[in-house]
Structure 1
């Protein structure tokens, strides 16, 4: 079911928000919040309306920031916000903030670092799936949520725009709509037994495929990067009628037939070499901004499309073939026309 079937262009953002944070979900959060307050001998009388106001303040604070949260309620013209002041008092906001919970602390899964948020994640994933537009092309990658405090699930990834924070696996559509997400838990991540022999990256892809194949439309085409890609994964996806394309580490190609990257880098931009692995996986090594190797179970390397890019040499935008750009062809084994 797509969002477009439930909403029109005239829909208020609040109505769209409530498709995902409906009264059932917010009611559960209110229930767990009140349970935690009672466990701490505090008054547990938070209501659904107050919780919606609380979430609204959090969203509002994301684009209108002050040095300290309580400044929204100060009697100062430069910090006081009348919208927040009319919605919820500072005292009620602080009570909810100090007791906010999405699950019952007495029944947590100790093996799951995100067990306190797992009910919220499951609900949002279900809503994301239910309202996802039906499209063929999907992307699966990692994303970082900035966080600098202490938590056993926090990750550090050097070279990323956001180096410290929570790492999530995220499956999206072409325009960025999130269909599925799941937090990465580091060394304690549990890989399903049936995917262990394929490794972590492949298991993430296959778990996403399990979600996609519940949709009525098939087949799908998934794109991902070299962390996930392997020949065994592409073969397994092909057996499940899933198209897949991704960059691949060359050490994952047995007896790689390609030239050294340093040699290919000296060739004309667009030069590429291609091959077919096991008569079913197309491989291509191409000199673009850098030398990159790709693998696909979805089609031929020679089915080129024109793309627009800026040429530094010509100082203008040019249209060149996505697969062949004044390039050379080196054939290994059987090729596909």
Structure 2
């Protein structure tokens, strides 16, 4: 465990808010690895406005200066080990990735913001309504099941030396059987063939022993080792399945409109080192998946999170990298909604350069020059109070509902006011409350 001491007196310091902000460089650098599954995004990376123009930022460092050399810049807080012999906290901080994004100083002004027009047409209705199996085949076609049967036969031959003789038709039955088991769930697979409680659609399609043999040998790749291009991909054994779903998503018609980016959980409780627990989710245990959907909730692209994913690498950090990766499937001119785990001011600037509008909730420590915002304290705000600050093409809006909400956008502000219904506990009835347009739009289209 690391001890925090003053660099001059060497006295131990209690861990408080000032100490944490000093270690984080007032929240301007991405210096921490967050273990919480719902807080995996980096802290904001903005310039240090407290430094002189030619001065470089300093970080906590316990290494003394060399004799005869220049003194190394250190902060007023020194991070050292205690007597327990644990790993050095300084080394841990130095080994973490630090990303600095240089930005010109921002001046936040209390002024009106002109909303950009969003004259989007409704998503076109399909000319012909196809059958469910035809929609299913957009994702998993006959070529996919043929490839699955070949890989399964090859794996069984390598493993046992026997011939499995499975076909794409049998693979379809296996897939459909598991879909049925997902709908009608039993504690044990063998119970589907047990007398009095068996499911006739399953028992008539395949025997229990044949299903277990296919399950144990099911493969969608031809080799037992990852190819060179997937050497860092822990999902390489199921990548063909992922690609099949992505190719199906690409067939969905896209028009300029409103889209939302968020994280979801692919439910999975088996053994997998990528499995995560994300609280406050309907299915909290599974694989984390970043998705972009239409305002109606139709998924058009996704990216499964597995750590060092090259597709999610960007100097702005993981949160903005996810948004910039997923909007590659969205037409330019669209408006993208996302929550506070993705939103940063540099991200909104980048979206503007790429021809996209963006709106999202934001945390205060991701706002550059936030000390100059001069927002009222939350306790001094009444329900329905609105405060707005504008800097160039970015607008920040603080609105008090039951709690204060901070939002940022490059297209919609708080100048336009709408009326929303909110329940008042004291009066025990619904009352009209003023709400900025940025909040009502976010609530309407953030799926």
Q: TM-score, normalised by structure 2?
A: 0.64
Instruction: Work out the CA distance in 2 between the residues paired with 1:100 and 1:7.
Output: 36
Q: CA deviation at 1:318?
A: 4.5
Give distance in 2, aligned partners of 1:132 and 1:92: 40
> Matches of 1:129 and 1:317 in 2, distance apart?
44
2:342 to 220, 228, 247: 228
Change (3 A) 1:144 1:30: same
Alignment partners' CA distance in 2, 1:63 and 1:258:
54
Counterpart-to-counterpart distance in 2, 1:114 and 1:140: 22
- For 2:274, the equivalent position in structure 1 comes to 153
2:223 corresponds, among 90, 105, 122, to: 105
Which residue number in structure 2 is paired with residue 275 of structure 1? 389
Write the distance in 2 (CA, Å) between the matches of 1:73 and 1:3.
45
Greater RCO (CA < 8 Å, at least 6 residues apart) = 2
Secondary structure of 1:93 counterpart: helix
Task: Quote how far apart the aligned CAs of 1:258 are.
Answer: 4.2
Cα distance in 2 for partners of 1:45, 1:130 equals: 33
Question: In 2, distance between residues paired with 1:63 and 1:123?
Answer: 22
> How far apart, CA to CA, are the structure 2 residues paired with 1:300 and 1:189?
34
The match for 1:88 is 206
Distance (Å, rounded) in 1 between the aligned partners of 2:419 and 2:432: 6
8 Å contact kept, 2:385–2:434: no
Q: Find out whether 1:17 has 2:131 as its counterpart.
A: no
Displacement of 1:167 in angstroms is 0.7
2:386–2:435 Cα contact (<8 Å) kept: no
Q: Aligned equivalents of 1:200 and 1:175: distance in 2?
A: 26
Aligned residue among 367, 381, 386 for 1:253: 367
* Pick aligned residue for 1:322 from 435, 442, 445: 435
Matches of 2:174 and 2:424, distance apart in 1? 51
- Pick one of 99, 117, 139 that aligns with 2:238: 117
Per the TM alignment, residue 159 of structure 1 is displaced from its structure 2 partner at its CA by 5.0
Instruction: Mark the runs of 5 or more structure 1 residues left unpaired by the alignment.
Output: 325-337
Which protein has the larger Cα radius of gyration, Structure 1 or Structure 2?
Answer: 2
Pick aligned residue for 1:45 from 150, 159, 165: 165
Aligned counterpart for 2:306 among listed residues 185, 189, 202: 185
Is the contact made by 2:268 and 2:286 (CA closer than 8 Å) also made in structure 1? yes
Aligned to 2:320: 202
Offset from partner CA, 1:25-81 (integer Å, 9 cap, x none):
22222222222222212423221111111111111111211121121122x12x211
Deviates further, 283-292 or 242-251: 283-292
Change (3 A) 1:300 1:15: same
Whether the 8 Å contact between 1:20 and 1:127 is mirrored in structure 2 is yes
1:281, 1:184 → 2: CA distance? 29
Where 1:131 maps in the other structure, the secondary structure is coil
1:161 deviates by 4.6
Unpaired segments ≥5 residues, structure 2: 1-122, 438-447
Deviates more, 1:28-37 or 1:291-300: 28-37
For the 8 Å contact 2:263–2:290, the answer to whether it is kept is yes
Deviations 1:158-184 (A, max 9, x none): 454544321111111122211111111
Correspondence 1:69 to 2:183 = no
Whole-Å separation in 2 of the counterparts to 1:46 and 1:309? 60
Deviation track 1:286-325 (CA, whole Å, cap 9, x = no partner) reads: 112322211101123212334444444444444544318x
Greater mean deviation of Cα atoms: 145-154 or 120-129? 145-154
2:413 paired with 1:293: no
Contact 2:413 2:436 in 1 (8 A): no
Q: Secondary structure at the match of 1:45?
A: coil
Of 144, 149, 167, the match for 2:288: 167
SS at match of 2:187: coil
Runs of 4+ in 1 over 6 A off after TM superposition: none
Q: Which moved more, 1:151-160 or 1:306-315?
A: 306-315
Post-superposition offset of 1:24: 1.9
On the 8 A contact 1:172/1:179 being kept in 2, the answer is yes
Alpha-carbon RMSD across the aligned residues, in angstroms, is 2.4
Secondary structure of the residue aligned to 1:117 is helix
